[in-house]
Every structure is written in structure tokens, then in C-alpha cells.
Amino acid sequence: MQRRAFLGFFLIGGLISFVKKRLFAPNGQDLKKASFWRKTS
Amino acid sequence: MSSKVHCELCPTECVLENYEIGGCRTRMNKEGVLYSLVYGKPCAVNVDPIEKKPFYHFLPATTAFSIATAGCVLGCKFCQNWQISQASPEDTDNRELPPADVVRQALFHQCRSITYTYTEPTVFYEYMYDTAKIARQHGIRNTMHSCGYIKEKPLREIAKLLDAADIDLKAFSEEFYSRICGGRLRPVLDALVVLKEEGAWLEITNLVIPTMNDDPKLIREMCGWIAKNLGPDVPIHFSRFFPYYKLKDLPPTPWETMKEARDIAREAGMRYVYIGNIRSEGENTYCPACNRLLIERIGYFVKQNHIMKGTCRFCSKRIAGIWS
């Protein structure tokens, strides 16, 4: 029982951290698409 | 299919492989798409006197909300801000400050303008553009201090949002740009002409470095080009060099050299020539018609100002600039 609670605690913590980083990162994202460039062949 | 991208922001025109970062350290190709690594992440945020930029003919005695991110399109050996300009964004201490927050802070600090400065604003082009757009909507002016090493199309777009630009013209020599800065002179001259055409108020800064770009012949050629192509009303700031970064073996520029540069510019017909980075009467503005003192400056601060509605208070001569 204690072991399950311990594992659950870490899993929930990890999930919160992941969601926070992915969804609530500053500006909604880490990188901004740049302007003035083109793909080369 | 190739995932290489060709950056068309500055004349270096880096061609980047997947996950490669450009020479400016701020733009990365990620799976065939170019991203800015510094958007909304300034490493320098300050409220400065506009005179510090230096702008001497643009809203004197006002403050400018000043921002910069890491990176630069050039690699000048004499860079005075090399700790942040020659660094990658992961090596600097950055803040999270999206464009709307920059404008909010500028309003809070009662700044009349936002200046994109310290490093090279071209490297945070998208951040500057979005901020400038919001600033305009709130009646805040936009200015930049740049090396002018940017391609025509992006420059014309940002120029429509700029009220003023101070461009570093580092020397009137392709050899100097290539050997000392890792760039070319021609694109900078083209950028100056574009800014003039687009109607942004223009000032020019020239850092005078002993033995490197202080040849009177070179300064004469530079001033002649400015007078002919940009007109005699563009203020020129001759800035005194201090040994930094990779040019620590040179002495600070002697006062006599600074004075000689100013004399050459005046002989070329330039009306507003200043000496900066050294306390002297060279910081003051004089009327080109009656020679009376119009703006007395002490360092970055204005002690007296006799320009009334853009004209000399004593003889009514129109003084070029943006005064209100």
C-alpha cells in the first residue's frame, strides 16, 4: 500500500511537470518561427 | 528531400543543415523550418536616457526603454558589448518578456520610445518587429541602434515601424569590415540609403580606433559619402574607443584624433558633428546658422535646450531632427 502511494506520488508529480512545460511554457512555446528564409534543394 | 534552409535576413546568408545554428547564434534550422531562439528572451533590459544610444536629434532628455538579446551578425574585434553580443542565448541570463510586456513596462516607466540596442537588433528581428507594432498602437516611438548589416527586404519592412535609427558605420573600408568585423561595407551603405528613403530619422556613429580606422583620408571619404548620399543634416557621432575584447593592446583614442575627425566632417559640409565617450564641448549642439549653443549636454544629460518647435531660439533656423 505504502509502495503504491509512493509510486503514485512520483507519477502524478511527473505528469504535472510535463503538462506545465508543454502547455504553460512562456509564450505558449519555446521557439518562434523566423521570417526571411527559404528551403534549399 | 533536403531539410537545409537558407537564411535571408542578413548579408551573411547562412545555409543551415538540420539542427544547425546560424553565425548570429540565434536562428536554428529545425527539421526544415528556421526558428528564432531569442524571441521574447532579452538578456538586457534597461531604462536609458535617449542620449546614451546615442540620439542627439531625437526627443532630447527623454528616456528609452532599451532591450537586447544575445547574438550578433558581425564579430567585431573591438566590440564594446561583447559579453552579450558574442554569446549564445543559452550563455546569457535571459528574462521572459513577450512583446506586449515590453510595451507595458515602457508605459509604466513613462518612456517615450523603445530602443532595440546593445547587441544587434537584426538577430532578434521578429521580437523587435512584433514589439514595435504594439508600441506604435500605444503611441510609443521605436528606434534601433544597429550595425546596418541586414538585407533590403527585412530592413524595408522594419523601417516602416521605426521612427529613428542610429547606424554604426565602423570604417569606410571593405578591408576593415572583412578583417576586423567579419562582414562587408557595401551592405551597410545600402542599408543607410534604404533607411533614408523610408523616412526614418538617421544618425551615424563611428567608433574611432587608433591605427585601425583613424586615417584622415578614410574619414574624409566617409564624410564625403555621407554628405552626398544622405545629406548634411545627418548627425555624425565620433565615438572614442576604449580597449575591450580582442583589441586590448590599443590605447584609448587621443583627444586630438577625435577633434581632427570632427574638423574633417565639418569640412565635408556636415552640420551636426559630435564627439562621444569623452566629456567635452563636443557633446553639444550648435546652430549651423548663428553658431549659438542650442543643446548643452553633460554626458547623457541635457543641461539646457534652446530648440523651440524644431527651430533655433535665437535665429529661427530649422534644426533637423524629431523634437516632439
Model confidence at A27, in pLDDT bands (50, 70, 90)? very low
Average pLDDT over residues B65-85: 97
Closest chain A residue by Cα to residue B10:
A36
Between A2 and B57, the higher pLDDT residue: B57
pLDDT per residue as tens digits for the range B198-237: 999 999 999 999 999 999 999 999 999 999 999 999 999 9
Chain A interface disruption, residue of B28, B36, B101, B150, most A CBs within 10 A = B36
**CA B254 to mean position of chain CA atoms:** 23
β pairing state of B164-168 and B141-146: parallel
| Among candidate residues B26, B2, B54, B4, the one with its CA nearest the CA of residue B207 | B54
Flag whether pLDDT at B323 surpasses 80: yes
The β-bridge partners of B13 are: none
Q: What's the confidence (pLDDT) of residue A8?
A: 79
Lowest mean pLDDT among A5-19, B67-81, B168-182: A5-19
Average pLDDT over residues B247-262: 97
β pairing state of B307-308 and B273-276: unpaired
By the 8 A CB rule, do B34 and B28 touch? Answer: yes
**B6:A37 CB<8 A:** yes
A21 CA: distance to closest CA in chain B (Å): 14
Q: What's the confidence (pLDDT) of residue A15?
A: 77
Q: In 3-state terms, what secondary structure has residue B45?
A: strand
Q: What's the confidence (pLDDT) of residue B118?
A: 97
By the 8 A CB rule, do B247 and B209 touch? Answer: yes
Q: What's the confidence (pLDDT) of residue A26?
A: 45
| Among candidate residues B79, B88, B109, the one with its CA nearest the CA of residue B41 | B88
Flag whether pLDDT at B79 surpasses 50: yes
Q: What's the confidence (pLDDT) of residue A10?
A: 74
**A27:B40 CB<8 A:** yes
**B32:A33 CB<8 A:** no
| Among candidate residues B158, B74, B171, the one with its CA nearest the CA of residue B114 | B158
All residues of chain B having their beta carbon less than 8 Å from the beta carbon of residue A39 are 2-6, 32
Among candidates A26, A27, A34 on the partner chain, residue whose Cβ is nearest the Cβ of B34? A34
Flag whether pLDDT at B40 surpasses 60: yes
By the 8 A CB rule, do B96 and B40 touch? Answer: yes
CA distance B101 to B103: 5
CB burial string A24-41: b at 16+ within 10 A, e below: eeeeeeeebebebbeeee
Flag whether pLDDT at A28 surpasses 60: no
Question: Cα-flanking dihedrals φ and ψ of residue B90, to 5°?
Answer: -75, -10
**CA B49 to mean position of chain CA atoms:** 15
C-alpha cell at B20: 544547425
CA distance B244 to B185: 22
Please give the biggest Cα pair distance in chain A.
59
Average pLDDT over residues B117-144: 98
How far is the CA of B287 from the CAs of B118, B305, B309, in angstroms?
Answer: 30, 12, 14
Q: What's the confidence (pLDDT) of residue A14?
A: 76
**What's the mean pLDDT when you consider all of chain B?**
97
The β-bridge partners of B29 are: B34
All residues of chain A having their beta carbon less than 8 Å from the beta carbon of residue B98 are 26-27
Q: What's the confidence (pLDDT) of residue A18?
A: 64
By the 8 A CB rule, do B74 and B149 touch? Answer: yes
Q: What's the confidence (pLDDT) of residue B152?
A: 98
Using a CB–CB cut-off of 8 Å, the residues of B that contact A are 2-9, 15, 27-28, 30, 32-37, 39-40, 96, 98, 125-127, 129, 151, 153-154
**A27:B37 CB<8 A:** no
